[in-house]
Amino acid sequence: MTPRECVYAAIRHEETATVPYNVMLSPVAEQRLKTHYKADDLQDALGIHLYLFAANGKPLYASPADYGPTITDEFGVVWATSDINRGYPVRHPLGQPTLNGYTCPDPLASQRWEGVAVAAQRHPETFHIAVVGDLWERAHFLRGLDRLLCDLVEHPGFVHELMAAICEYDLVTLEAMARLRPDGVFLSDDYGFQDRMMMRPEMWREFVQPYLARILTAARAYGLATMLHTCGHVTPVIPDLIELGLDILHPIQPEAMDILCLKREFGRDITFCGGISTQRLLPFGTAQEVRDEVRWTVDAMAQGGGYIAEPGITLQADVPTANLVALIEALSEYRR
């Protein structure tokens, strides 16, 4: 089976001899693996089954050497740059709970789409996923998470207005991406802290679910699979995500949720992607412990299909090279 066929089989909850896998890399981890494998293109060198591509905005990883201490994204959010991770917002354009005087950027601006059609044609054997943006996450980048959480109670009308504006931006991006004929779409939209959701599930259903539903419904209308990234503890809304028709939930962090319970309770209705510890195992375990836990995790989660193996979040600079290599070898050598 090709990598694309393996991923489609996982979404259909069919068991395959090769379990599909994915890894996401910070610049330091990426460079270590490029050096180890003597390869400029890790997609092929590592045998990764998923291939993500996006429109051009702020670089996901902006180095201070290239951009200075800060960089401003297309929405006007100012980010601190970093050599080891994606940085963090330091200035939010929406200082007040209003959109008066603020306009979302043009999702069809020509510079966003330079080279995207070419990128969409690379790695033809893999499962192509077009990144369409974020939603709640973009809202708190614009407003600041602490203020936006207060707005849920104090200014609910503003929150709905903001979420609707971001949703429209994502829908236009989705429509343009659909013309490139990917296999699926990816939305990054964290809802969880380590041990609880950022908001009560009832608030999530009021302020996030309607807009997420519009994006997932539009993707299905284009015949595309859907993949949602949301870190942290989101167990209370997994039934809602299933009801919305989400295909793949990413990255099911084992430090935040019991992945075996997730498999038992919801594994027949949704495909899980992730589940390998990035807070404990990969930074601090031995290479043999990495291999052993990868096999244990995949054995448990891939039963009955519906699983794509991946670490619980982007691999950071704290993961030793030996563990990075052990992870890749364990994933690529695994056979059911």
Residue type, 306: G
State the Cα–Cα distance between residues 333 and 336, nearest whole angstrom: 10
242-281: pLDDT as tens digits: 999 999 999 999 999 999 999 999 999 999 999 999 999 9
| Sequence letter at residue 75 | F
Calpha distance 289→205 (Å, rounded): 40
Of the candidates 250, 307, 243, 316, the residue with the CA atom closest to the CA atom of residue 278: 316
Residue with tokens 């330079």: 114
pLDDT for 296 beyond 90:
yes
336: pLDDT strictly greater than 80: no
For the stretch 194-226, pLDDT in tens is 999 999 999 999 999 999 999 999 999 999 999
275 three-class SS: strand
Q: Are 133 and 185 in contact, with CB atoms under 8 Å apart? A: no
pLDDT for res 32: 96
CATH of domain 3-60+103-333: 3.20.20.210
pLDDT in tens, 31-54: 999 999 999 999 999 999 999 999
In the prediction, which pLDDT does 318 show? Answer: 95
pLDDT for residue 335 is more than 90: no
pLDDT digits (tens, 9 = 90+) for 60-77: 999 999 999 999 999 999
Secondary structure of 249-270 in HEC code, one letter for each residue: EECCCCCCCCHHHHHHHHCCCC
Q: How far apart are CA 254 and CA 232, in angstroms?
A: 9
210: nearest Cα among 167, 171, 170:
167
Q: Tell me which residue of 107, 135, 266 sits closest to 212, measured CA to CA.
A: 135
Q: What is the pLDDT of residues 150-176, one digit of tens each?
A: 999 999 999 999 999 999 999 999 999
Domain ranges of the chain: 3-60+103-333
Residue 36's CB: how many other CB atoms inside 10 A? 14
Whether 303 shows a pLDDT value over 80: the answer reads: yes
Question: In the predicted model, what is the mean pLDDT of the chain?
Answer: 97
Q: What percent of the chain is predicted at pLDDT more than 70?
A: 100
* Pairing state between β 88-91 and 78-80: antiparallel
pLDDT at residue 170, as a whole number: 98
Mean pLDDT confidence for 109-129: 97
User: For residue 177, what pLDDT is reported?
Assistant: 98
Query: Which contacts qualify for 194-202: CB closer than 8 Å, 24 or more apart?
Result: 194/232, 194/233, 194/255, 194/256, 195/233, 195/256, 196/233, 197/232, 197/233, 197/234, 197/236, 197/237, 198/145, 198/149, 198/232, 199/149, 199/152, 201/236, 201/237, 201/240
Q: How much is the pTM?
A: 0.96
Q: Where are the alpha helices (DSSP H) in the chain?
A: 3-11, 27-37, 42-45, 64-67, 116-119, 136-143, 145-154, 156-178, 201-207, 209-221, 238-243, 259-266, 281-284, 287-301, 321-333
116: helix, coil or strand?
helix
How does 119-149 read in b/e, with b if 16+ C-beta sit within 10 Å? bbeebeebbbbbbbbbbbbbbbbbbbbebbb
By three-state DSSP, how is residue 203 classified?
A: helix
Q: How confident is the model at residue 94 (pLDDT cuts 50, 70, 90)?
A: very high
